[in-house]
Structure formats: C-alpha cells, structure tokens
C-alpha cells in the first residue's frame, strides 16, 4: 500500500496531539504493523480527566473509515496547529478509548486493504 507508512505516522501524530490538548506531556506510544493492519496504542497517566473533551474526541473518531477522504485529505492530518480529529476518524477502522486507574488509553486500528 503506497503511502501507508506516512498515513500511519499522521494518525500517530493526531493521537499524540490529542494527548497534548489534554495537557498530557508524556504519552507512551506503541505501534504494531502487520501485513493486514496497524494497531497504534497511545497511553498516559492522566489525573484530572476532562471527560467532555474525551467524549467529544470519541464522538469525532467513532470509527467510520472513509476511503475517498482518506486518499484525498490525509495530508492534512498530523498538524498540531489544526488538530483534525474528524479526519483521524476517517483514517481508521476502529477505536477503543478507556480510562481506568488514572490511565487514559487509546487504541486505534487501520486495516491495509
């Protein structure tokens, strides 16, 4: 898949950017890329959760991959000046957000089809 690595990096940037907007400065990133998909996990300690922002983020990336937007607009993702969480949602196939034991964990999957 041409450009797939760049798209994965853009997705990672968007996720890290979201952590920054929450005031989290030390997110941990884990990426696993296989032939069929890539899973990106970003997690961090988060003591004073802003549920409104997290809920809004979850709504925006509710996992509706849009291939037409994916190919055309993916270059806009990953810019810290203008976070594109709705674009992030169109780049991924599924997302799972959890907040337990004061750890915020976001896992997203992008299939390589």
Binding site for other proteins (CB under 8 A): 2, 59-60, 62, 64, 66-76, 79-82, 84, 86-87, 89-90
Distance set, CA 85 to CA 47, 53, 75, 77, 102 (Å) = 23, 12, 13, 8, 23
CB of residue 110 to other proteins, shortest distance in Å:
14
CB of residue 68 to other proteins, shortest distance in Å:
5
Q: Which is nearer to other proteins, 41 or 109 (CB)?
A: 109
């Amino acid at each position: 898949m041409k450009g797939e690595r760049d798209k994965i990096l853009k997705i990672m940037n968007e996720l890290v950017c979201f952590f920054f907007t929450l005031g989290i400065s030390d997110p941990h990133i884990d990426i696993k890329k296989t032939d069929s998909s890539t899973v990106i996990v970003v997690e961090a300690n988060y003591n004073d959760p802003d549920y409104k922002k997290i809920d809004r983020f979850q709504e925006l990336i509710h996992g509706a991959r849009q291939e037409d937007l994916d190919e055309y607009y993916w270059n806009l993702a990953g810019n810290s000046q203008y976070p594109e969480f709705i674009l992030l949602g169109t780049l991924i196939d599924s997302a799972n957000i959890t907040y337990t034991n004061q750890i915020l964990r976001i896992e997203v999957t992008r299939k390589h089809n």
